[in-house]
Structure 1
């Protein structure tokens, strides 16, 4: 009699690993990580969990196979030996009592299995001997196993026996069993054995619990390790972020503490080098800009004294122009015109230096906007060229002198480049006042629109000595900013350019005014005298940010 092992397919461990991989992909797809620390911890945990689950699954599978194979082989070998020694000693046609007695003897084996013997008596009737009728009957043997046991195999050079031993694992009410069957060679009874695998299943459950606890501990350990690693890695990154933010706030003396020789230390050194270079460049630029502003301011002050005398003389010449020689009159008028132009340029330069230095001040008052614009137009004799669309009684808190400068520049620019009539409209938009100045000229070229408020900018580069200094709109914008407002330029769909001034009706408080002056000075690169703005610990040492 030859033993043959044929059992059930096993796919539990493989399907479990595939299920875990799918769950991991779902988790990764569903999470939206916003923290590098969280990502590190999750990645560490997933790697550790994957490794632990894989190792546990492999260990469980290997141990399960080892335990079941060892138990199975021991039981089948013992049963095979009992069949050879005891069942083989029975007569060809045993009685029921002989089968019962032999089955009982076989069941006393150390492997603790139940035995079922079947045969035919002398009359050709089937007889059954059972070691334990309450637990093991013919119905407990799978049909496929009975067919395999009773089927005779052809005798070949490789197959010396017509009968073989077959086995199968079954589960009954949650309890696993091993069922084996064999037939006595040369004729005789057929025997079946039933062995409970519940002890082995309990051992496997205990092993599974142990592996699960080990996996949980590995997950906790990996999370703690990831937290420690994240703290070590992210602390320099956090310092770098704080340093970059402080550098962006203008604290150019910000430096990082450098420790170690790894890539993060190299990054900190690079940051410190870049910050030092930026600080030096800003200091150099600030020094040059401060010198340039000081030169313009000093030059403007120095020009005012001789310009005052020249202006007085030119006014006298203008009054006497009609009595002079006709050949001299054009020269006198040219001198008068250029003197006025130079006087306007000096005044504009003085105003610009006040804005750059942050010394411009507002003297606010509640004024009627319609009356203020009418006074501005009347003082410059533009009544015939300007159409005013403004209701009386629209009050706003502004600086009358600075509003006059804004409107004079906007209306004068419209008359100069767009032609009359210039339409000025005043509207109230919630807490804001909107003043639109529209001309009927050709409009502003698209490539010029972004630069109309730049200092000294003129649309035609071929006319550098055209009337005007190129500072009027820039000064108007600065005056709008100090009010907390703005000016926008655009082209109207009806033709012509439209400049829109928006101002808060309630004015600005002193704190907002100071912020506007500071923002205006900073926008032109102003820095405190002596170099870049300093911040931090003040002693020049690197800051632990």
Structure 2
């Protein structure tokens, strides 16, 4: 079903802003044009009506009122007023004369409709004021008019005086018909303005669709490019700015694809080199390890001058062996060939076995209830625990406390030492590869890969490890969180690669 014009528009969308801008421009233009048209038509209508009425009233005053006797009777004034009002211009007439000084008489064409009280005092003063005759003023009296209202209806009131002592006349014409015409005009202009507004919105929608459709396609292509689909390209048509933008996007995507391919090839080559080198080193390391074991067994019977050198060789050979195994495991993670081999394990038994295998029973306090079952890779869990506990023993202080608990469907293992803690500037980097807290100990026993491998093994289970200092300032705390059932994670992993070798057991 096709959506409405404004369906789904957000206040922050470019489409809505375009529609609003178009509508505001159209509304401003339409209101301005309508206002000017209304004002011009209003002045034209009123001017035409009042000019016609006033000109007719002037002629009637000249033809009829001027012919009355100087001291006309009231009936004469009334008859003359009725004759003037009946001329067809649709106004009422009021004639004022004087029988004696200070004794005015009034003749009205329609006393119920028009009386002297309807004539504004300012208009009466203007009509009765005699002006000096000069070169620029040929007559002492003139015709004056004024628009007024009575009962909410508009009227035109005009008046003049006969020169030489004749009567004073006033006319009173309703402008209600003209107001009705002007109201109809205003409604018409309002409807036209509304139609213009709707039309502008439709045009804005069409223009926005024309402009924003390529922008939307560009946004979708950029999103796909960000998701790693580097072969994304836009169809280019035309020669306008949007077409040029699409060409620029395609060129950028092509360049990015080429650079990523080059980087991936170099990274794969580097990974392969490390893996091959690690495999090649294992053969001589196996022989060296056998020799060092023999030397270590005979260390007590060696010459005291040679014993320290033998001990150094044994220590460095073990360190090199751990480094090679760690590098091989890192290459598996980087290549995406690491996989899980799941089994149902009792977590307490697994932790106990890890501690016992490394002779840490005297240095570790274990707080774990038996019967906490989890479906995990026991070998990788052993690697995680060995690295966390070994790191705590090496850099922290005894005793190291290991506690196991469950939270919902999550397994939580906490490893806490009683050492000096981890410096704040080091905390963000403890899981970085080859990172060592002290730059002055570049040849410390650890390889700098232990905690990084522990984190990778946690991630492959769908878990995580966090590091922090104890709130009371007594040591560091590492918290391992793993799902109690990693079956879903295992199914989604890519399988492959060998599982030769063992992970490092400490930094």
Cα displacement (A) at 1:474: 0.7
Aligned to 1:502: 481
Aligned to 1:5: none
- Deviations, residues 166-218 of structure 1 (Å, cap 9, x unaligned): 21223344543211112222322121111222332233233223322322332
Residue 162 of structure 1, CA deviation:
4.3
1:78-93 correspondence to structure 2 within 5 Å? 78-93=56-71
- 1:484-532 CA distance string (max 9 Å, x none): 1111111223232221111122x2224x2355669xxxxxxxxxxxxxx
Higher relative contact order (CA 8 A, sep 6+): 1
C-alpha contact (below 8 Å) 1:492/1:498 kept by paired residues: yes
Inter-CA distance 339–229: structure 2 relative to 1 (3 Å threshold): same
- State the shift of 1:381 in Å: 1.0
Residue aligning to 2:383: 405
| Superposed CA offset, 1:431-480 (max 9, x none) | 22222212222222222222111111222233322212111101100111
Mapped partners of 1:168, 1:32: distance in 2: 55
Aligned pair 1:386/2:364, yes or no?
yes
- Which runs of structure 2 are paired with 1:445-484 in the superposition (5 Å)? 445-484=423-462
1:122 Cα shift? 4.8
**Hey, what's the Cα distance between the residues in 2 that align with 1:508 and 1:220?**
59
Question: Structure 1, residues 398-436: CA drift from partner, whole Å, max 9, x if none?
Answer: 222211111110111111112322222223333222222
Q: 1:124 to 1:320 in 2, by over 3 A?
A: closer
Distance (whole Å) between structure 2 residues aligned to residue 74 and residue 302 of structure 1? 116
Matched position secondary structure for 1:164 = coil
**Counterpart check, 1:303 vs 2:281:** yes
Q: Secondary structure at the match of 2:323?
A: helix
Q: Answer yes or no: is 1:35 the counterpart of 2:20.
A: no
Is 2:190 the partner of 1:190? no
Q: 1:115 aligns with which of 81, 93, 109?
A: 93
Determine the C-alpha separation between the residues in 1 that align with 2:323 and 2:184. 96
Q: Secondary structure at the match of 2:77?
A: helix
Q: Report which stretch shifted further, 407-416 or 133-142.
A: 133-142
Q: Tell me the distance in 1 between the aligned counterparts of 2:147 and 2:492.
A: 86
Question: Aligned residue for 1:47?
Answer: 25
- How far apart, in 2, do the equivalents of 1:383 and 1:492 lie? 23
**Match in the other structure for 1:355:** 333
Instruction: String of CA shifts for 1:215-234, please: whole Å, max 9, x gaps.
Output: 23322321221122111111
SS at match of 1:384: coil
CA contact (8 A) 2:123 2:159 kept: yes
Alignment partner for residue 490 of structure 2, among 503, 513, 517?
Answer: 513
What residue in structure 1 maps to residue 241 of structure 2? 263
Conserved 8 A contact 1:293-1:353: yes
| Residues 316-325 or 177-186, more deviating | 316-325
User: 2:43 matched to 1:65?
Assistant: yes
Greater shift, 54-63 or 134-143, is seen at 134-143
Tell me if the contact between 2:162 and 2:168 (Cα under 8 Å) persists in the aligned partners: yes
Q: In the aligned structure 1, how far is the partner of 2:244 from the partner of 2:222? A: 16
Q: CA deviation at 1:142?
A: 3.1
* In 1: Cα distance, 2:161 partner to 2:90 partner: 20
Q: Which residue number in structure 2 is paired with residue 292 of structure 1? A: 270
1:242 aligns with 2:229: no
Residue 252 of structure 1 and its aligned partner are, at CA, apart by 0.7
The DSSP-based 3-state class of the residue aligned with 1:163 is: coil
SS of the residue corresponding to residue 370 of structure 1 reads helix
Distance of 1:332 and 1:127 partners within structure 2: 147
**Distance in structure 2 (CA, Å) of the matches to 1:32 and 1:320:** 81
* Counterpart pick for 2:415 among 426, 433, 437: 437
Residue 143 of structure 1: how far off its partner (Å): 3.8
- CA–CA distance in structure 2, aligned partners of residues 516 and 199 of structure 1: 87
Q: Which residue of 2 aligns with 1:365?
A: 343
CA distance in 2, matches of 1:139, 1:457: 104
Query: Residue 107 of structure 2: which of 119, 129, 134 is its match?
Result: 129
Give me the whole-angstrom Cα distance separating, in 2, the residues matched to 1:125 and 1:242.
Answer: 95
Unpaired runs of 5+ in structure 1?
1-30, 519-545
CA deviation map 1:118-171 (0-9, x unaligned): 222258643222223343233333344334433445667755544332212233
Deviations 1:261-314 (A, max 9, x none): 322222222212221121111111100110011111111222222222222232
Quick one: distance in 1 between partners of 2:451 and 2:10? 50
Q: What is the Cα deviation at residue 32 of structure 1? A: 7.1
Residue aligned with 2:454, SS: helix
CA distance in 1, matches of 2:69, 2:318: 145
Contact 1:484 1:513 in 2 (8 A): no
Q: Where does residue 500 of structure 2 map in the other structure? A: none
Task: Give the paired residue count.
Answer: 486
Q: What CA distance in whole angstroms lies between the structure 2 residues aligned with 1:35 and 1:497?
A: 49
Q: Quickly say closer, same or farther: Cα 1:301–1:120, change in 2 above 3 A.
A: same
Contact 1:481 1:516 in 2 (8 A): no
The answer for the alignment partner of 1:11 in structure 2 is none
Distance 1:516 1:76 in 2: 99
Alignment correspondent of 1:102 = 80
Contact 2:10 2:16 (C-alpha < 8 Å) held by counterparts: no
Matches of 1:455 and 1:124, distance apart in 2: 119
Does 62-71 or 157-166 show the bigger shift? 157-166
CA deviations 1:36-58 (Å, max 9, x no partner) are 11211121112111101110110
Name the CA distance, whole Å, in 2 between partners of 1:166 and 1:322: 137
Question: How far apart are the structure 2 equivalents of 1:437 and 1:152?
Answer: 114
Where 1:353 maps in the other structure, the secondary structure is helix
